[in-house]
Amino acid sequence: MSSQHGQASIEWVGLVLLVALVLGALLSLAPRPQGPSLGHALAGTLTCPARSACVSQRTAAVTGLPPPRAAPSRVAPERAAAAFRALRGVTTIAKRAWIACLGWKRYRYELRHPEVTIPGRTMPLREALRIANDCLNPLNFTTEGT
């Protein structure tokens, strides 16, 4: 072996993996705490502001009164399901429209630059990337670029 360059990094990776395995084994032997799991507690903490339930839970904890009931949903589930079914067709079309966009933009470029149709000549990379960005970027796809 002419050099041992990089050898220490392999040893460190092995050491880190060994430590991770030992810590994983120790965690599996640790007793489980009572109450909600960490995942449920974390999910509740993250979704609490979105449900506007944080204030009512804190107020209930301070006053000792039960928290007020959450406001009913404004949109009926049937109406929401119908809206998502209607959008399903739009998303299917949008998923496939980019290929038509690429073809159309390439066709327009070839009309403006007939030298590209000569065998052995190709479109400049900058133009190809601009066309791809126009068709694949959702913000550029919805607005017509030049």
Quick: pLDDT tens for 96-106: 788 888 888 88
Residue 13 lies in a domain: no
Q: Hey, what are 111's tokens? A: 């009309």
Number of structural domains in the chain = 1
Dist. CA 56–CA 44, nearest whole Å:
14
Pick the closest to residue 9 from 131, 17, 1 (CA basis): 17
Residue 15 lies in a domain: no
pLDDT digits (tens, 9 = 90+) for 35-92: 767 777 777 777 776 666 565 555 555 566 665 565 555 667 787 788 777 777 777 7
Whole-structure pTM value = 0.36
Dist. CA 51–CA 71, nearest whole Å:
10
Structural domain that includes position 118: 98-146
